[in-house]
Amino acid sequence: MSRIVSDTNRTGRVDDVSQTGKADGVSENSAPATGEELLAARAVSVRYPAGRGVVRAVDGVNLSLRAGEILALVGESGCGKSTLARALLGLQPVNAGQVVFDGRALPSSTRGLRWFRRRAQLILQDPTGALNPRHTVYEAVAEGLRIHRIPGDERELVAKALAHAGLRPPERFMPALPSELSGGQRQRVVIAGALALDPMVLVADEPVASLDASVRGEILALLLGLRGELGLSALVVTHDLGLAWNIADRVAVMYLGRIVEIGDAVDVLTAPRHPYTRALLSVSQAEGERIVLTGEPPDAARIPVGCRFRPRCPVYAAGLPDEVANRCRTTDLPVLGETGVACHAVGAPVQ
Amino acid sequence: MSETPLLEFRGVGIDYVTHRGVVPAVRGVDLTVDAGETLGLAGESGCGKSTLALSVLRLLPATAKVSGQVLLDGADVRELNWGQLRAVRWAGASVVFQGAMHALNPVQRISDQIAEPILIHGGRPAGGVSARVSELLDRVGLPKGRSRAYPHELSGGQRQRVMIAMALACEPRLIIADEPTTALDVMVQAQVLDLLAELVAEARVGLMMISHDLSVLARTCQRLAVMYAGRIVEHGPAAQVVRAPVHPYSAALAGAFPTIGDVASRLAPRGLPGDPPDPADLPSGCPFHPRCPKMRDECTEVDVALRVAGPDRDAACVLVDAPGVSR
């Protein structure tokens, strides 16, 4: 534990995982107090060269995850949400802007990144793909402990991580191979592997999309419980607004490389303001009138001038006052901060 | 349309013969699909829903043993000879599989793939095969310019549209869609579901749609059957089954996808403890009892058959006492 260097400028917090789980009983893992910024993207851009053009996958985005909160990042495939999540984890180099973890720019040194990677864990959609079919549950969970050379009784740490992930009694699951487990249990093993490293942040990319409906709620309840018990923050990347309603404190809606609406989950999900959010919500519900957008989001190498949603926007298509419509066609929208909506027509009189 | 349903399952049981012994995947299913009707079949992995669907076109592996009757237009598909079966496949009934990336040939242009069932099963369409392909692409909302594309050049939604175009190619009277939108985004999902609903309304095809997402089925289907451990456990008008489920399992499935704005589900995801049972090792009595929040003592012994649970509704649960009375 003494390896872990913590900055002086932080609020001390005794981490209950390390306190109960580790031989020395004391953690030097201090984290910001609940509600303070923990992991943030500041004007982050990620671009890829593609043919003659440049794909602007993430196009200058601010997003901050606070300690102890669950933030849902929602949007369609190709909107840049997974790229943004990877950038936040230091898995994707950024072309502009910076990622800030715990008040400091993401380290670039191997040692610094190793520390960060222990503290920020990624959980992927498909647990079957994430687990080595020939490794037992014990091996899968212990692997991270070995890579990070975590001191303490390995078996005890693995057992505790499994128990936290809801695999009880842990001894029963340790010798099992992934093929002997159900999909929900496999996802719990993946989560246990992350928890073993005593993280501060979980980034979960569609954590329940490949699971059965009845198991889905259990895994979401687990994520919610981890926040409650361990104070873990989580960024959940998903296209499922019901999931956001189930577990998220705040919701950020992404479209074509930008966040177009962000705010408190109840506000965004019950009183959506951006036409895109409204359309997404309408098709996520079993009842009510649907707003089905035609086509698919445009190529991120050819982002429309003005409002990037305009070519598919039902509000624009229905007719707006000339002055507003003109801005939709010509004026790019400002990058959002903590809360807000990026739409020229919001608040504009309807024609 | 005659009185004969387009598709009828009569007491269908399907066993897989494996090295572990006989695994009953489907255990006595009765269902019908009429022309112009959409039936939703809901259930989780391993409940037997895909096995049941594949039995319609005899697409099951040789290890599967089918009992009971699978009637397509009144004729038992198990008694068809190869020639008759070939005539039925694509032209009589077709299947839209999930995971279009794997179902399409990666090294063949989509126009050629759509043309293939027409050339093999569809005879000679009036304006020629390529005209028919263009018509189909137009029908499913794919730009004509994309007809020479390879599958990897298309988005997930476009690939699923190609699958639907293929399924429509020979104008079948029955379409079986197995999780047609599972891998797709909500918006593309809505587009694809609208397309399927249009086809049912316009061409009076019968559609059997399989999914684990009750909200998808509630949107698209008139009737809904919920399957668990190889049996139908609840059956009725889709909106009613989703809004007021009788069987505790249907209730759990319906609760898994929350209604946004419903305060009870806010920060309270609902699931079921445990996992779907292993078909090779089913629990005694009602196979749902180990996970059932309303289990009673008798549930460990009595396996309840479907009972009338209201007008046009059935459920297989001891909690269903009399018609119209449900808890």
In angstroms, the CA B45 to CA B24 distance is 14
For a pLDDT cut of 90, what percent of chain A falls above it?
Answer: 68
> What ipTM score was computed for the predicted complex, to two decimals?
0.83
User: How many other C-beta atoms are found inside a 10 Å radius of the C-beta of residue B153?
Assistant: 12
In angstroms, the CA A336 to CA A260 distance is 7
First to last CA, chain A: 63
Average pLDDT in the B249-265 region? Answer: 90
pLDDT band (50, 70, 90) for residue B188: confident
Residue with tokens 């009637």: B71
Average pLDDT in the B227-245 region? Answer: 94
Helix H segments across chain A?
16-21, 81-88, 110-119, 127-130, 137-147, 154-164, 170-173, 183-195, 213-230, 241-247, 265-270, 275-284, 314-318, 322-330
For the stretch B161-178, pLDDT in tens is 899 899 888 889 999 998
User: Between chains, do A269 and B260 touch, taking CB under 8 Å as contact?
Assistant: yes
pLDDT band (50, 70, 90) for residue A24: very low
Residues 6+ apart with CB under 8 A from A48: A54, A55, A57
For a pLDDT cut of 90, what percent of chain B falls above it?
Answer: 50
Which residues of chain A have a Cβ shorter than 8 Å from any chain B Cβ? 76-78, 182-185, 212-221, 224, 239-242, 245-247, 266, 269-270, 279-281, 283-287, 290, 292-294, 296
For the stretch A282-321, pLDDT in tens is 998 877 888 999 888 888 888 999 999 999 999 999 999 9
What's the mean per-residue pLDDT of chain B? 88
- ∠ CA B241-B246-B249, nearest 5°, is 90
Retrieve residue A4's tokens.
């872990």
Beta bridge partners of A23: none
In angstroms, the CA B85 to CA B110 distance is 25
Retrieve residue B37's tokens.
């009707």
For the stretch B125-152, pLDDT in tens is 777 888 889 988 988 888 888 889 999 8
pTM of the model: 0.86
Which chain A residues contact residue B253 at CB under 8 A? Answer: 213-214
pLDDT band (50, 70, 90) for residue A30: low
In angstroms, the CA A166 to CA A161 distance is 9
For the stretch A166-185, pLDDT in tens is 999 999 999 999 999 988 99
* pLDDT value, residue A13: 38
Report residue A338: phi and psi, to 5°.
-65, -45
- ∠ CA B10-B11-B13, nearest 5°, is 120
Average pLDDT in the B251-269 region? Answer: 90
What's the mean per-residue pLDDT of chain A? 87
In angstroms, the CA A257 to CA A236 distance is 17
Residue with tokens 């499922």: A240
Distances (CA, A) of B109 to A168, B112, B154, B162: 51, 5, 11, 11
Residue with tokens 């599967």: B64
Report residue B161: phi and psi, to 5°.
-65, -35
DSSP structure class, residue B66? E
A2 pLDDT higher than 70: no
B206 pLDDT higher than 90: yes
A14 pLDDT higher than 60: no
At A231 the three-state DSSP class reads coil
Range of lowest pLDDT (A106-120, A131-145, B233-247, B275-289): A106-120
Which residues of chain B have a Cβ shorter than 8 Å from any chain A Cβ? 44-45, 155-158, 185-191, 194, 212-215, 218-219, 242, 249, 252-253, 255-261, 265-273, 275-276, 291
Count CA atoms closer than 13 A to A76's CA, side-chain side: 26
Beta bridge partners of B33: B7
pLDDT band (50, 70, 90) for residue A278: very high
